[in-house]
A and B are shown apart, each in its own frame.
Chain A
């Protein structure tokens, strides 16, 4: 199984900050990586897929990069609505696995 290592686990930031979250995989997955946002008590929401493609309606302040085993999610200017937990997920081969999550807090 492919292991996912996401860092940091918690990130303290302020509105307007540039935020970067890293996801590393135990083996190369090309760009078969997605990022999700989850707010407390809510279902996750897909943000990016293919490592760098924004899902429909996702603000352009979100961006993703990487391939192989190292990936990043960047929020260029943190907005109040962005305080949430973010997860990476690979879909290279079953079983799908998620990173441990990064909570972005004030």
Chain B
């Protein structure tokens, strides 16, 4: 069974940093591009970042460019999101999702709260 499990969320102060992880199982992780998508409380979905299957290419939403870094470790079947200079508007549930273009499946999400 394909499974994605996010971790690393929590409460962080504005300007702080956090690193999210996504552990993948049930498929050949190294063969797939991966994504991070977030959802602010009560709001819609916002694509955040993507990384190619090789790890060579990364893509970011303008709202996080220069602050967030997506990476992967194929040996650990894991995806990461390093988030720096966090702002209140970054408060959201962060989902990882498999796929180069289509996002399927998704993990259950991890909540990041940015507040003083």
Interface set of A (CB-CB < 8 Å, partner B)? 1, 32, 34, 36, 38, 42-46, 49, 55, 87, 89, 91, 94-101
Residues on the A chain within 8 Å of B11, using CB: none
Of A1, A46, A100, the residue contacting B104 (CB under 8 A) is: A46
Q: Is the CB of A43 within 8 A of B107?
A: yes
Interface size on B, residues (CB 8 A): 21
Q: Is the CB of A95 within 8 A of B61?
A: yes
Q: Is the CB of A44 within 8 A of B59?
A: no
A-B contact count, CB below 8 Å?
A: 56
Inter-chain CA distance A2–B13, complex, in Å, is 32
Q: Is the CB of B109 within 8 A of A101?
A: no
Residues on the B chain within 8 Å of A87, using CB: 44-45
Q: Is the CB of A100 within 8 A of B95?
A: no
Residues on the B chain within 8 Å of A32, using CB: 101
Residues on the B chain within 8 Å of A44, using CB: 37, 45, 95, 103, 106
Inter-chain CA distance A86–B61, complex, in Å, is 21
Residues on the B chain within 8 Å of A98, using CB: 44-47
Shortest C-beta distance, A8 to chain B (Å), equals 14
Residues on the B chain within 8 Å of A97, using CB: 47
Indicate if B88 sits at the interface (CB-CB under 8 A).
no
Q: Is the CB of B47 within 8 A of A101?
A: no
Q: Main SS of chain A's interface residues? A: loop
Residues on the A chain within 8 Å of B46, using CB: 98
Of B47, B95, B106, the residue contacting A96 (CB under 8 A) is: B47
Inter-chain CA distance A94–B58, complex, in Å, is 10
- Chain A residue nearest to B46 in the complex (CB): A98
Could you give 28 example pairs across A and B, Cβ below 8 Å?
A1-B62, A32-B101, A34-B101, A38-B45, A42-B108, A43-B95, A43-B105, A43-B106, A43-B107, A43-B108, A44-B45, A44-B103, A45-B104, A45-B105, A46-B102, A46-B104, A55-B104, A87-B45, A89-B45, A89-B47, A91-B101, A91-B102, A94-B50, A95-B62, A96-B47, A96-B50, A101-B44, A101-B45
